[in-house]
Amino acid sequence: MVGITSYGGYIPRYRLSRKTIVRNMAWYSPVIMSVADGEKSVANWDEDAVSMAVAAARDCMNGRDRNILDGISLASTTLPFADRLNAGIVAAALNMREEGVSNADFTSCIKAGTSAAIAALESIEAGRRNNILVVASDQRRTKMATMLEMFFGDGAAALLFGRDNVIAEFMGSYSLNCDFIDHYKGAGREFDYGWEERWQRDEGYGKIIPLAIDGFLKKTGMKIGDFDKVIYPCYFGGTHRDIAGKLGIKKENVQNNMHAVCGDTGTAHPLVMFVSALEEAKAGDKLLLASFGQGCDVLAFEVTEKIRDFKVPLGMRGSLANRSELESYQKYTKFRDLIVADLGIRGEANPNTALTVLWRKRKLLFGLVGARCRKCGTPQIPAMPVCVNPDCWAVGEFDEYEFADREAEILMFTGDMLSPSVDPPAIYGLVGYDGGGRTMLDFTDCDLDQIGVGMKVKMSFRKRYYDKSRVFTGYFWKAVPRVEGGDV
């Protein structure tokens, strides 16, 4: 049996009400008032497609042996590197083995996530690989006061495909590929360029998705009524309903497009919606998933009895529940680098990233891997030649020790207004890990008045800096305090 063995998801903590955008920008473009309902998810300033992919991948692989992975496929249209394997960064952050695996980027189209899923499933069916992790993630920048600003949100989803303990069996797929351009982004450009909405709605979503689903049904001999949930992206609410009408799908069998709670997350959105459907699924349910973008991919799954024993991850339900209102539109535009603000003299330092050090220290920098003494069991990070336990002082007696999945608590912290930061003050301090080990880290997804000594934190893979002159993004781990709600 081949299919899904685990799933995970990530929606950023910050949510921006569309009414907030209207209050600030309707003077310039009154038409945005027509789509002012709901809210969209907003990635923090230190998040991007890769960091969100890591969060979704870790959620999917929580409690699982990452050495089983034969490869990671990362799908996104907003990858930070044009010539560097972005999936390799995700693999390094998972501390995945480097030998005998095949990682790949899928990009240039918002149905890349489902295309990566089909490729993974076909590879497993052919017996070439056994376990493949597919992650889709997008963080699309938009111009201010545009409809796309109202529609687009940020997020990521992950599916683990394999043969053992399958929770949703793969039933087949069908693909329609055509060069239909509803929007595009030219090489080197900052923003998408979209054609008129009527073209996108009527000739795009409204025709291509039904055509592809009809093609799947004819190929397999199945009927639309066989499926308990039909999942397809479309942020035009009326068109989303019309597609169901064309295909004869009952209202209760159509998966919510999640526009009101997070917006359209681009390449990730079909998988984001699918993970949300899996969270509600029961054994025997049949799920039909369709995507959109220069055509349409259609995949079908049947939920198995294994779903009963499946350890439910944070997923979409947990991510959506962990929310904080982003009340400042100005802060949002700065997070997106849509406005220019001075970081001061201290922000002018622009050191060249030492790629040699990045390679030699990759276990620490990407995997947050330290060491544990074989003699006394004391963990430490970073790894040093001598054990830090004063009663031990063993030399060279260490095993690798992963800190990324371990909770920690704040031992001391400060808010620094002098340190250059997109979201001042820069908050950082000392954390102590459960089981031993201490390190200095930046704090993120919090305000200074929300945290205190003794508070629990978890580790999160984030952007550490962005070198504009060389167009290089540096990553490291930060501490996320377990704060309750709060507006920003």
Which two three-digit tokens encode residue 340?
A: 């220019």
3-state secondary structure the chain: CCEEEEEEEECCCEEEEHHHHHHHHCCCCHHHHHHCCCEEEECCCCCCHHHHHHHHHHHHCCCCCHHHCCEEEEECCCCCCCCCCHHHHHHHHCCCCCCCCCCEEECCCCCHHHHHHHHHHHHHHCCCCCCEEEEEEECCCCCCCCHHHHHECCEEEEEEEECCCCCEEEEEEEEEECCCCCEECCCCCCCCEECCHHHHHHHHHHHHHHHHHHHHHHHHCCCHHHCCEEECCCCCHHHHHHHHHHHCCCHHHECCCCCCCCCECHHHHHHHHHHHHHHHCCCCCEEEEECCCCEEEEEEEEECHHHHCCCCCCHHHHHHHCCEECCCHHHHHHHCCCCCCCCCHHHHCCCCCCHHHHHHCHHHHHHCEEEEECCCCCEECCCCCECCCCCCCCECCEEEEECCCCCEEEEEEEEECCCCCCCCCEEEEEEEECCCCEEEEEECCCCHHHCCCCCEEEEEEEEEEEECCCCEEEEEEEEEECCCCCCC
pLDDT for 486 equals 52
pLDDT in tens, 278-299: 999 999 999 999 999 999 999 9
Q: Is the CB of residue 83 less than 8 Å from the CB of residue 102?
A: no
Q: Which of 99, 103, 97 is nearest to 135 (CA)?
A: 103
Q: Which of 288, 265, 34, 17 is nearest to 146 (CA)?
A: 34
**Pairwise CA distance, residues 41 & 261, whole Å:** 7
Q: Judge whether residue 44 has pLDDT over 90.
A: yes
pLDDT for 347 equals 80
Q: How far is CA 236 from CA 32, 34, 120, 148, in A?
A: 14, 12, 30, 12
CA dihedral 280, 272, 323, 369 (to 10 degrees): 110
Burial of 34 from C-beta contacts in 10 A (0-12 / 13-18 / 19+): exposed
pLDDT for 352 equals 84
Q: Judge whether residue 487 has pLDDT over 90.
A: no
Q: Judge whether residue 163 has pLDDT over 90.
A: yes
Q: Judge whether residue 46 has pLDDT over 90.
A: yes
Q: Is the CB of residue 15 less than 8 Å from the CB of residue 40?
A: yes
**Pairwise CA distance, residues 430 & 411, whole Å:** 5
Q: pLDDT class for 484, splitting at 50, 70, 90?
A: low
Note the pTM of the prediction, 2 decimals.
0.96
b/e sequence 147-186, b meaning 16+ C-beta within 10 Å = bbbbbbbbbbbbbbbbeeebbbbbbebbbbeeebebeebe
pLDDT for 345 equals 80
**Pairwise CA distance, residues 186 & 174, whole Å:** 28
Q: Which of 421, 440, 436 is nearest to 478 (CA)?
A: 440
pLDDT for 348 equals 78
pLDDT for 349 equals 79
What percentage of the chain has pLDDT greater than the value 70? Answer: 99
Establish whether the linkage from the previous residue to 270 is cis, with ω within 30° of 0.
no
Q: Judge whether residue 488 has pLDDT over 60.
A: no
| Mean pLDDT, range 415-439, rounded to an integer | 95
pLDDT in tens, 288-327: 999 999 999 999 999 999 999 999 899 999 999 999 999 9
| Mean pLDDT, range 100-112, rounded to an integer | 97
| Mean pLDDT, range 409-431, rounded to an integer | 95
What percentage of the chain has pLDDT greater than the value 90? Answer: 94
pLDDT for 157 equals 98
Q: pLDDT class for 200, splitting at 50, 70, 90?
A: very high
Q: pLDDT class for 69, splitting at 50, 70, 90?
A: very high
**Pairwise CA distance, residues 143 & 156, whole Å:** 22
Q: pLDDT class for 485, splitting at 50, 70, 90?
A: low
Q: How far is CA 261 from CA 37, 264, 447, in A?
A: 10, 10, 23
**Pairwise CA distance, residues 420 & 107, whole Å:** 33
Q: Which of 157, 87, 160 is nearest to 120 (CA)?
A: 160
| Mean pLDDT, range 368-395, rounded to an integer | 96
pLDDT for 33 equals 96
| Mean pLDDT, range 69-96, rounded to an integer | 97
Q: Judge whether residue 41 has pLDDT over 70.
A: yes
